[in-house]
Every structure is written in C-alpha cells, then in structure tokens.
Amino acid sequence: MAASQWVVGETGIGVLGDFQVLREGQWQRAGTRQLARLGALFAAAPGQTISRERIVEALWADKPPSTAVNTVQVYISQLRSLIGSHLIETTVQGYVLQVQPAQVDAEWFREHVLACMDEPRTFDSERHGQMRESLRQALEVWRGEPYEDLRDGTIEARRSELLELRERAIELFLEVSLAVANNPRDIGEVVAAARGQVARQPLRERGHEILIRALVSENDRAQAVQAYRHAVDVFAEEAGVTPSSRLRSVIEPVVSAEN
C-alpha cells in the first residue's frame, strides 16, 4: 500500500482495513492479532487516555488471563517499537497516543468526506472538479472494514458511521463525476460505476437515481426506463416499498418523451 494524500507528519496510522503504520514511507503491519487490536484501540481515540482496564477489556473481553497486566506492558512496548516510542505516552491513568486525528486514516477520511458534502451543489466546473478529486483521494484510502482488528462493542457505532459515510462518498463521487462529464467515454464510466454500485447496494435509492440520470445523459432512454423498473421491482420485493417522489421525478420526463 503506497502512502496516500491523507498522511500528515512522519507517521500515519491505518485502520480502514487491517491495522497498519506508516513510518519513513513504508507501511508496516502488527506482528500479532492482539497487537493489531491494541493499535486499533489507540487509533480510535488519538490524544485521549486509554486506561489499563480498558485495554484488558478490549483484548480479552471478560476472560483476561492472570498475566493480563504484565502482558499489556509487553504489548505496549511492542506497539511503541512499531509506531514510535515518543508517540505513546504513559500517564497515571493509562496511555495516550500522541498523534493528530488527521494522522489516522479513518479520521482524515471522515473529515475530508464531510467537507466535500458541505460544498454547494450548484454547478461550478472548477469546484466540482476539485470535489471529484478530493473524493477520489478519500475513497482510495479505504482498504477494508473500519477497525477490522477491533471487535469491541464500543467501536460499533463508529464503524457503522464510517461504512455509511463511505456509501455516501461513493454516491457523491458518482454524482459529481456525472456533472463534470463532457464526453461519451466519461459518461460511460459513470454508467458502469453506477451499475456496480446498484448491484452492491440495491436498496440505496441514490445509486439508482444516478444510474438513470447517467443513462439519460447517454440518450439511452430505453435503458433508463428499464433501470427504473428494476429499481421498482427491487424495492417492492426486498423492502416492500415504492420509489420516492424524487426518483419518480427523474424518470417521468423520460417516460413522457417516449409516449
């Protein structure tokens, strides 16, 4: 995995997938599952104190070994070797990972995508081009399930938030890509990507909407109508609902033109 645009400073910490650390331009993995779990726990709370009790709970749940306290000290030493000894501070209450939130890929991803989502939607070719590039960089950082190594109830809400944010980032990327597309090849790429998104997330209406709009942009009205009918069938069979008025408003002019 190459260093990405998100890295701030000399050290980057990756938790969008398995736990990894970037030092001196090279990505390194933890040697054991428990060390990866500990690293992900710290990365979930940069700059915050993690108590020894919290570490024991995250590593062993309700079945810690009798040697848990000493084993935690060993793991902390190993994590310092991996991340950098100066970046893990010992306090009376526990330990603190002394990095900026943006040095953790999940935090950078979240802030970057939210910033793009706050941009005005009125079309501006330069601004939309910049949004598209920003979203592309953010999506490239994603390697897999957030905090993959940390199976801990307290992290589930954050994991769910990031998974939802990724879907919204993909949809916004496709929407912006369609807005700036100015030739058949670019539009065709959006159509292909939107079909993939619909196949992967069939109950997310926005993907269907982008696909239909892209097909209309290709002047393939028959395929646009077929895509809408497919959406109607999927929503009815899998969720027992009908398309929203927004999606209907996208297809209605197409159907009217065909009649």
Tell me the residue length of the chain: 259
Residue 61 region by backbone torsions, left for phi larger than 0, else alpha for psi between -120 and 50, else beta: left
Say what the pLDDT of residue 103 is: 93
Q: Are 39 and 142 members of one domain? A: yes
The domain that holds 253 is classified in CATH as 1.25.40.10
Instruction: Report yes or no: 205 and 231 within 8 Å, Cβ to Cβ.
Output: yes
Q: Which two tokens stand for residue 188?
A: 């065709």
Whether 173 and 189 share a structural domain: no
Domain boundaries, position 76: 1-177
Assigned token pair, 244? 């929203």
β-strand partners of 142: none
Q: Which of 131, 162, 177 is the last residue of a domain?
A: 177
Whether residues 143 and 203 fall in one domain:
no
Q: What is the pLDDT of residue 2?
A: 39
d(CA 176, CA 136): 11
**225 C-beta neighbours (distance < 10 Å), count:** 17
Q: What is the pLDDT along the chain (259 residues), one digit of tens a residue?
A: 334 466 656 789 999 999 999 888 888 999 999 999 999 999 999 999 999 999 999 999 888 999 999 999 999 999 999 999 999 999 999 999 999 999 999 999 999 999 999 988 787 888 899 999 999 999 999 999 999 988 877 788 899 999 999 999 999 999 999 999 999 999 999 999 999 999 999 999 999 999 999 999 999 999 999 999 999 999 999 999 999 999 999 999 887 766 5
Whether residues 121 and 78 share a domain: the answer is yes
pLDDT value, residue 125: 85
The CATH number for 156's domain is 1.10.10.10
Beta strands 11-14 and 49-51 are: unpaired
Judgement on whether residues 100 and 208 belong to the same structural domain of the protein: no
Buried b (16+ CB within 10 A) or exposed e, 146-182: bbbbbebeebeebbeebeebbeebbbbbbbbbbbbbe
- 99 and 135 part of one domain: yes
Structure tokens at 90: 């010992």
- DSSP-assigned letters across all residues of 94-113: EEEE-S-GGGBHHHHHHHHH
Same-domain check for residues 167 and 197 = no
Please tell me whether residues 37 and 142 are part of one structural domain: yes
**Structural contact between residues 213 and 178, judged by C-beta atoms closer than 8 angstroms:** yes
Which of the listed residues 113, 145, 177 is the one where a domain comes to its end?
177
Q: Which of 162, 177, 192 is the last residue of a domain?
A: 177
In 201-244, which ranges are continuous DSSP H helix? 205-217, 221-239
Domain count for the chain:
2
66 and 21 within one domain: yes
Task: Say yes or no: 20 and 92 in one domain.
Answer: yes
Q: Assess whether 137 and 204 both reside in one domain.
A: no
The model carries a pTM of: 0.91
Distance CA 237, CA 46 (A): 44
| Residue 151 and residue 211 share a domain | no
